[in-house]
Every structure is written in C-alpha cells, then in structure tokens.
Amino acid sequence: MSALLAVDLGGTKIMACLVSDGRILSRVKVKTRVEAGAAGVARQIAEVCGAALAERSAAWSDVAALGVAVPGLVEHSSGTVLEAPNLGWDSFKAKARLESLTGRPVVLENDVNAGLVGEWACGALRPFQDDPAPLAALFVGTGVGGAIMVGGRLVTGRSGIAGELGHMKVAAGGPKCGCGGRGCLEALASRSAIEKAVGCGRGRLTSGRIAKLLDRKGKKKLKKAVSRAAYYLGIGVANVITALNPRAVVLGGGFMEAVGERLLPDIMDAARENCFERGLKDCRVLLSSLGDDAVVLGAARLAGAR
Ligand SMILES: [Zn+2]
C-alpha cells in the first residue's frame, strides 16, 4: 500500500488521517498540548500519526510522505513555521524536526492554503481544475483565512503572505483586529468578531451554537452581528473579485459550515453592490463541500505531489 499521512494542526486540536487516492482511511483527533511547546507538539503529531496508522494496521513504511497543515506562516525554502500565534510558535524548523521523528518526507503548508487545495482536488472546486483563471478561498472560523490558486498552483507571494484575505481592510478605521490593524475582514466577520459584538467571552459561542440561536425569537444583538458579518463577507468577496477576476471563490470553515446556506443570499447582495457586474457574473461563489476534511485532503494532495 502506498498511502499518505495528512495532519491538520490547530491551536485546539490535531487531526491526523491516513489518506489514499483522495480517500480518508482512518482519522484520529487529539487535543493540542500547546503548553508542551513546539518540540512537544511535534512529538504529539508523530504519536497521532502513529495512531492513525495503527487504526488500519498500517506501518510507517507504507507511508510515502506526510502533509502537515499549520495555522501560521510557512517558509517553504527552509521548512520553517515563521509564526503561528495560536501555537505560540516562532521560527520553528518543523519540517526537519518532523522528518527526524517520523523518518518520512514532510511537506508543510499553511492550513487555509491546504484547504483550498483540498477543495480544488476533491471538493467544490473540482469542476475548475483545468480553468486557468484564479480561484480563491475564504475560511471563516475563529479568524478569517484566505488563499489563492492560479493554474493549479498556490499563490504565496514574495514572503508567503499572499492570500491573507482576512486582513483586507473592509471598513477603514473599523474595529481592531488581532493583527494589530483596524477594519480587517477578520475583525468584522469572524466568529470572534461576533462574540465580541454580543459581549460574550472568547471561545464561548461555537458556530453550531450560533446556528441554533439564530432560529430563536429575540437574540437581536446576535442576529445583528451575524448579518453584519454576512455584509462584510460580501464586501470581502467583492474585493477578491476586483483584485483577481476569479473563476470561483469557495467559502469554508466552521462558521460557514454552520450558517453558510443561510448567509449566502446576503453575502451575494453585498458582493453585487461592491464589484463590477461582469466580475461577479463570471465568478461562482460556492460553499465548501468537504467541511472539516478540506485541510487534510489538501495536505495529503500536497504531500503526494511533492
Ligand atoms: Zn487584521
């Protein structure tokens, strides 16, 4: 058997999957021990991968490579995670460390970049695999992540920060963002932005909880915050269309998975008001079809194509 191991490393959980031919054969999730530091988390990744192999009685020798998606900025030339604020990582040579722990080749990628590759390889963007026009992703959860592909390749830019679409300014002088700036899409349309707007502690309102509360009577503050998020996501989509004239934009992440269907009409209305009609007409705005699996399937694809 020639299989790939794919890891979705997050600030709260690590998911490792054994993947073959774009199919997930096994899946193991554990809580990330952020307090163990970068070296400790790297050991944890190797353990979780071992568990994913054991589930299918597979051996390390069956694994061609590891694809590891990280919530941070990746320097490919040196295999370094330059910054990953949710993990507290700073210039960690993750590729070398993981290769020495597992004995397999490792491909690192930013998690939203991996998610876009996943949707392109086996999800909502599959119909556009041979289209030369740009494709983009906006993943909405605790933050707002973005990614861009052209001609089947990720666009990472000069220093790896191309496609950080969550930090496009959508409201000049608007609310403060985690990046230190103001008025970023993330500061207006993420789950954290909604928590802040309703005066709720960080991490208290899960996306599933938001979806449930929207069905209840009252909850005016929450409904207002969610419709503000939809409006600004529409402006975000419009800006992506203005910048790239893409063939498609995929909207993913936990928040979109929970409320995307419901918000899409409002997102499209706001997009329509804010970009060229032709740009929107030629662009499919789609919801993710892989949900949580987009990132691991993309990481596997990148590992297989290394
Ligand atoms: Zn920002």
In the chain, the N- to C-terminal Cα span, in Å, equals 18
pLDDT in tens, 108-138: 999 999 999 999 999 999 999 999 999 999 9
pLDDT (mean) for 154-178: 93
For residue 28, the CA-to-ligand 1 centroid distance in Å is 32
pLDDT (mean) for 206-233: 95
User: What is the pLDDT, as a whole number, of residue 1?
Assistant: 60
- Enumerate residues 6+ apart whose C-beta is below 8 A from 98: 42, 45, 46, 66, 68, 106
Q: Name which of 240, 242, 138, 148 is nearest 190 in CA terms.
A: 138
For residue 114, the CA-to-ligand 1 centroid distance in Å is 21
Dihedral of the alpha carbons of 231, 123, 241, 9, in degrees to the nearest 10? 70
For residue 163, the CA-to-ligand 1 centroid distance in Å is 13
Does residue 227 carry a pLDDT above 90?
yes
| CA-to-CA separations, 124 to 121, 186, 295, in angstroms, rounded | 9, 23, 13
For residue 304, the CA-to-ligand 1 centroid distance in Å is 33
For residue 198, the CA-to-ligand 1 centroid distance in Å is 20
For residue 224, the CA-to-ligand 1 centroid distance in Å is 22
pLDDT in tens, 20-54: 999 999 999 999 999 999 999 999 999 999 999 99
For residue 56, the CA-to-ligand 1 centroid distance in Å is 42
pLDDT (mean) for 235-240: 98
For residue 188, the CA-to-ligand 1 centroid distance in Å is 10
Q: What is the DSSP string of 69-113?
A: EESSEEETTTTEEEEETTTTEEEE-HHHHHHHHHSS-EEEEEHHH
For residue 64, the CA-to-ligand 1 centroid distance in Å is 37
pLDDT (mean) for 171-195: 95
Does residue 203 carry a pLDDT above 90?
no
For residue 84, the CA-to-ligand 1 centroid distance in Å is 14
CA gap 37, 22 in Å, rounded: 32
- Rg (C-alpha) for the chain, rounded Å, is 19
Does residue 3 carry a pLDDT above 70?
yes
For residue 33, the CA-to-ligand 1 centroid distance in Å is 26
Residue indicated by tokens 């353990």: 47
For residue 178, the CA-to-ligand 1 centroid distance in Å is 6
For residue 142, the CA-to-ligand 1 centroid distance in Å is 13
For residue 92, the CA-to-ligand 1 centroid distance in Å is 23
CA gap 12, 84 in Å, rounded: 13
For residue 236, the CA-to-ligand 1 centroid distance in Å is 13
Q: Is the dihedral of CA 96, 97, 98, 104 positive or negative?
A: positive
For residue 297, the CA-to-ligand 1 centroid distance in Å is 27
Residue 34 has a CB neighbour count (10 Å cut-off) of 18
CA 55, 56, 62 angle in degrees (round to 5)?
Answer: 120
User: What is the pLDDT, as a whole number, of residue 232?
Assistant: 98
CA gap 193, 75 in Å, rounded: 29
For each of the domains in the chain, give its residue range(s) and CATH number, in order of start.
3-110 (3.30.420.40), 124-289 (3.30.420.40)
Q: Which residues of 232-270 are buried (b: 16+ CB within 10 A; e: fewer)?
A: bbbbbbbbbbeebebbbbbbbbbbbbbbbeebbebbbeb
Average pLDDT, the chain: 95
